[in-house]
Amino acid sequence: MPAKKKQQTVTEQTAEMKAVPAAEAAVEASKVGEIVVAPKKKILFVASEATPFIATGGLAEVIGSLSKALAKNDELDIRVVIPLYSDISWDYRNKFKYLGNIFVPLAWRNQYCGIFSYESDGVVFYFIDNEYYFKRPGCYGYYDDGERFAYFCRSVMEIMPFLNFYPDIMHCHDWQAALASVYLKTIYCFRPEYQYIRSLFTIHNIEYQGKYSLDILEDLFGISNSWKYLLEYNKCINLMKAAIECSEKFSTVSPHYAQEIKEPYYAHGLDPIVRRNEFKLFGILNGIDTESYNPETDRSVFSHYSAENIEPKKRCKEELQKMFNLPVKPDTPVIAVISRLVAHKGLDLVRAVIEEVLRQDVQVIILGKGDSAYENYFTDLARRYVGKFVAVIAFNPDLSRKIYSGADLFLMPSKSEPCGLSQMIASRYGAVPIVRETGGLYDSIKPVGNGGNGYTFANYNAYDMLYVIREALNDYNNREEWQKLVKRVMSVDFSWSRSAKEYEKMYGEMLR
């Protein structure tokens, strides 16, 4: 019988934690009665957002769902730390437990840091509270974002003694968390309690690197100029570069993207750094939370269905058409685009050929917000193609689920895509993906012609995309075959089960 510890509270667990390297601790496994129980591997996710508390994109979903998937493994103690933004709803905040406060040094500053915690699905979440930095609408886009996230990362390091929790692995995500691994390498690893912490840095999108002027290194980040060589890149501070240099390993959210970012086309200037550090790079494909994204139980959809019983999906489509004042036509294919409206999502391709697409018997729905150039273009197009084209300029998770469930096809022609979750969610709801073969899209969607689960094209070219859209529309007319395809698409397993194991393996290797 596998030995299981009784459920402990956060405080009981933290009280037990000591700064002992995982490997050593495993050997000296503690004894509970006669049964030997290996201590859990302690993993701390450092990130700027996490579902269900706060989300602006895929990063939050991955932090929320990967941590939950990993916590199912009894050998892991999974914790997550994020800032306490004022946008986190009071429904949650009222349930958070106040653990106490400390003061955090940031160069010459000494800033308040309140610490809250909340347990959900076996994961302990910590929230860093400082109203000066985080009591603002939204998460990013402020003139002092560099300082805000430097403070956040410094707080992450400083709360460890307070919690008496020193992780075996500190897993930092994207540039906002990059400084945590830099602080570990330049300041904290010289202190005995921190010396065994290993750091892993995951790139969710290499486009956003956190670049700042070099002269703020000491005054703002509180890092001595003698470490400048770690952070400097192209005459500025580049936080993503620094995290790549300082972390034991770094990763991307799909294997294909790990290859792509060695090339200038994808790396936004960082390819020489990636190539130089290639020996410690790996890629693991994201998964999705298949419990939350489940058309059989999803409360947002108009009618529940599954791969075994696709029939009710017809109602989802009908209600969707009604909702957007589109003619209710069961045999007219509905193509959906749900995306941030930014250039790397391939919207220039959509813009180039959408009117040609709309000449066919088809309805197109776009949901998203982003650059005003795209927002204005699609809003205008919707005025010109009433009854055929709908644009909803918003970030709306509930509506997106209604669209996934009502759509027949899902278009995602990204110029680059570190992983992409939407194509997986679309598949789960039986909207057949049309994607460009890049990053995680390449890893998750294989061409229908070869028995795969979607329509794909290789070159970033609008007419190549148009070609596969036409192929899909053509296939759609063969209703019997189409039903089989939808079933096949819905049956692909995009849950975290496989990828979470790959992370576990990677953590294990790092601790060996």
Q: Select the residue interacting with ligand GLC from 39, 287, 406, 420 (CB under 6 A).
A: 420
**For ligand GLC, how many residues bind (rule: CB under 6 A)?**
14
What residue is closest to ligand GLC based on CB? 58
Q: Which is nearer to ligand GLC, 342 or 511 (CB)?
A: 342
Residues 210-239 that bind ligand GLC (CB under 6 A): none
3-state secondary structure of 252: strand
Q: At what angle do helices 174-186 and 239-246 cross, to 10 degrees?
A: 50
Residues 6+ apart with CB under 8 A from 197: 166, 167, 168, 169, 170, 184, 188, 189
Q: Which is nearer to ligand GLC, 186 or 438 (CB)?
A: 438
Q: How far is the CB of 414 from ligand GLC (least distance, A)?
A: 8
Q: Select the residue interacting with ligand GLC from 42, 43, 48, 58 (CB under 6 A).
A: 58
Q: How many CB atoms lie within 10 A of CB 466?
A: 17
CA angle 368, 396, 426 (to 5 degrees): 75
The CA–CA distances, whole Å, from 455 to 94, 446, 452 equal 46, 7, 8
Q: Which is nearer to ligand GLC, 257 or 429 (CB)?
A: 257
| 80 contributes a contact to ligand GLC by CB under 6 A | no
Q: Write out the DSSP string of 63-123.
A: HHHHHHHHHTSTTEEEEEEEE--TTS-HHHHTTPEEEEEEEEEETTEEEEEEEEEEEETTE
Structure tokens at 32: 């509970």
Q: Which is nearer to ligand GLC, 129 or 174 (CB)?
A: 174
Q: How far is the CB of 438 from ligand GLC (least distance, A)?
A: 10
What's the one-letter identity of residue 254?
S
Q: How far is the CB of 343 from ligand GLC (least distance, A)?
A: 12
Burial grade of 218 (CB within 10 A; 0-12, 13-18, 19 or more): middle
Q: How far is the CB of 101 from ligand GLC (least distance, A)?
A: 32
Nearest to 505 by CA among 11, 57, 75, 20: 75
| 66 contributes a contact to ligand GLC by CB under 6 A | no
Structure tokens at 114: 């309140």
Q: At what angle do helices 479-491 and 462-476 cross, to 10 degrees?
A: 110
| 418 contributes a contact to ligand GLC by CB under 6 A | yes
Region binding ligand GLC by CB under 6 A among candidate stretches 101-109, 134-142, 298-306, 417-425: 417-425
Q: How far is the CB of 139 from ligand GLC (least distance, A)?
A: 13
Cis preceding linkage at 21, omega within 30: no
Q: Which is nearer to ligand GLC, 186 or 495 (CB)?
A: 495
Beta bridge partners of 334: 363
273-312 footprint of ligand GLC as x/- string (CB under 6 A) = -------------x--------------------------
Nearest to 171 by CA among 209, 205, 199, 204: 199
Q: How far is the CB of 344 from ligand GLC (least distance, A)?
A: 8
Region binding ligand GLC by CB under 6 A among candidate stretches 261-269, 296-304, 363-371, 413-421: 413-421
| 441 contributes a contact to ligand GLC by CB under 6 A | no
Region binding ligand GLC by CB under 6 A among candidate stretches 4-12, 39-47, 52-60, 329-337: 52-60
Q: How far is the CB of 501 from ligand GLC (least distance, A)?
A: 18
Let me know: does 133 contact 151? Beta carbons within 8 Å. yes
Nearest to 360 by CA among 188, 477, 479, 506: 477
- Tell me the C-alpha distance between 436 and 337, whole Å: 13
| 62 contributes a contact to ligand GLC by CB under 6 A | yes
| 421 contributes a contact to ligand GLC by CB under 6 A | yes
| 419 contributes a contact to ligand GLC by CB under 6 A | yes
| 178 contributes a contact to ligand GLC by CB under 6 A | no
Q: Which is nearer to ligand GLC, 337 or 421 (CB)?
A: 421
Rounded to 5 degrees, φ, ψ at 143 are -60, -25
Structure tokens at 435: 């994607």
| 39 contributes a contact to ligand GLC by CB under 6 A | no
| 205 contributes a contact to ligand GLC by CB under 6 A | yes
Interface residue list for ligand GLC (CB under 6 A): 57-59, 62, 204-205, 253, 286, 417-421, 440
